[in-house]
Amino acid sequence: MSNKFNDYNFNNSINNVLNNLNFNKPTKIQNEIIPYLRKAINVVGISQTGSGKTHAFLLPLIENINLDLNKPQAIIITPTRELAWQISQAIDMFVKEIPNLKYDLLVGGTNLDKEKDLSSQIVIGTPGRILDAINNRHILKLNELKYTILDEADMIFDNNFIKEIDKIMTYIKNGCFGVFSATITPVMHPFFKKYFEGIKVIEIKDQQSNIEHNLINIYQNDRYLTLKMVMDNINPYLCLIFASTKDMVNEIHQKLNNDGYKCALLHGDLTARERTKMIKRINNLDFNYVVASDIVARGIDIDGVSHIISYDLPKELVYYIHRAGRTGRADYTGISYLLYENSELNKIDWLIKNNITFNYYLFNEKKLLIKTNGLKRAKYQFKSTSSSDDVVKINNTKKKKVKPNYKKKHREVLEKALRKEHQAKIKERIKKQRKQRKNEHRSQ
């Protein structure tokens, strides 16, 4: 186990990149994965979103690339073009230090020479595009392949890319495999048994989470009203609002804008150019809220996300983990709100059994979020208590109005100050990163 990246004795170029990224200490998943991939040992890496899986495979992969050989030596397969683009940006940091390092991006919206073989050492793309380059265009040759990486593997299989991956695997005769995911879903087991029998599985459990998970019961059977009430009770630096269908995303976006909220929109029907333009505006902080679908948002790492609101439960419950994982990344904290109704309590129980610890909130007079002492399955009544926490008791009688006591007011002031401090830190971090990018651009 290494306490610092210096312990790995990477070459100077890689160390320069790590210094530029302010990476000093490897994460748990990086500590476990890097030694195996350096030795070309097949491995599955399972850890939560934002734990550093991308650099866990990029560092040994780039270290072992033969820069004198202009042929594909590594392919990285992703479920979305956004994630492929994000990984290419991470590789760009290494290209600045290693000019002979080249990569190709095989996603929708990119043009390929139909007759010219790919000569970059790294190929990144979605399953369909990679298979097309191998099987139809015959421009992706795999005879020099050292690494095959499947990133966000659970999403690859959930999106019905199994046939494409199965065909791609028939063309791979050499090199080692790295499979990375936040979770292992049942649909992945037959694939693992077929191709990866005996592969080394590294799972990082009991990870300390930087995310506070909150459950909010639907107010007066009105999900949209509940959403607006949550939005009116938080002060986000940037908040992502997730919904499970594109139609729902569109509906929420239209309603919020009609009600005066300035919101961005991200879903699969946007063209590549529209998505790129929208992401640029989001990164420029033109919006405080982004309404997004699960598919698109899984592939986007937006800096400065302070809050997540899940308008509904995703079709695949495990996707809640990925939604929440858009915040609380690196050393920052984040807050995730999940709106639910009583008919969904069995699904909430599944999340709890899968190590999600929730706080429970209700609304009092549409304004004050009040913390409860547990998940209740009956009607609620608010009552004052002598303890420092506000506890909601179960009762079928009418709600009794109470005035906030001194401790409650004091806590609200403290929480507001902490939020402002947190937002200021994020803003300063983004400001430094942008300044650094400008300086790097000017020096080129």
pLDDT tens by residue, the chain, 444 residues: 667 898 999 999 999 999 988 888 898 999 999 999 999 999 999 987 778 899 999 999 999 999 999 999 999 999 888 789 889 989 999 999 998 999 999 987 666 666 688 999 999 999 999 999 999 889 999 999 999 999 988 888 876 788 899 999 999 989 999 999 887 777 788 888 888 777 888 988 755 568 899 999 998 889 999 999 999 999 899 999 999 988 999 999 999 999 999 999 987 777 767 877 888 898 888 999 999 988 665 656 677 899 999 999 988 787 788 788 888 876 678 999 999 999 999 999 988 887 788 998 877 776 657 776 555 543 333 332 223 333 232 223 333 333 334 344 445 555 565 566 666 666 676 766 666 655 655 555
Of residues 261, 239, 216, the one with CA closest to residue 364: 216
Long-range contacts of 367-376 (CB under 8 A, 24+ apart): 367/229, 367/232, 367/233, 368/233, 368/404, 369/216, 369/233, 375/215, 375/345, 375/348
The Cα 163–Cα 206 span in angstroms is 34
Q: Which of 408, 407, 400 is nearest to 382 (CA)?
A: 400
Report the relative pairing of strands 380-382 and 392-394 from DSSP bridges: antiparallel
> CB count, 10 Å around CB of 21?
14
CA–CA distance, 355 with 121 (Å, rounded to integer): 40
- CA-to-CA dists, residue 4 to 9, 31, 162, 306, 424, angstroms: 10, 9, 38, 28, 28
| b/e burial code for range 58-68 (CB count within 10 A of at least 16 → b) | bbbbbbbbeee
pLDDT of amino acid 133: 94
Q: How far apart are CA 420 and CA 52, in angstroms?
A: 27
Place of tokens 């070309």: 40
CA–CA distance, 439 with 444 (Å, rounded to integer): 9
Q: What is the pTM of this model?
A: 0.65
In the prediction, which pLDDT does 24 show? 86
DSSP state of 312: S
Q: For residue 298, what pLDDT is reported?
A: 62
pLDDT at position 331: 67
Classified as helix, coil or strand, 226 is helix
What does DSSP assign to residue 108? T
Query: In order of start, what are the domains of the chain with their CATH numbers?
Result: 5-203 (3.40.50.300), 211-404 (3.40.50.300)
CB 140 within 8 A of CB 130: yes
Q: Is 231 exposed, middle or buried (0-12, 13-18, 19+ CB in 10 A)?
A: buried
Sequence-distant contacts of 273-278: CB under 8 A, at least 24 apart: 273/109, 275/82
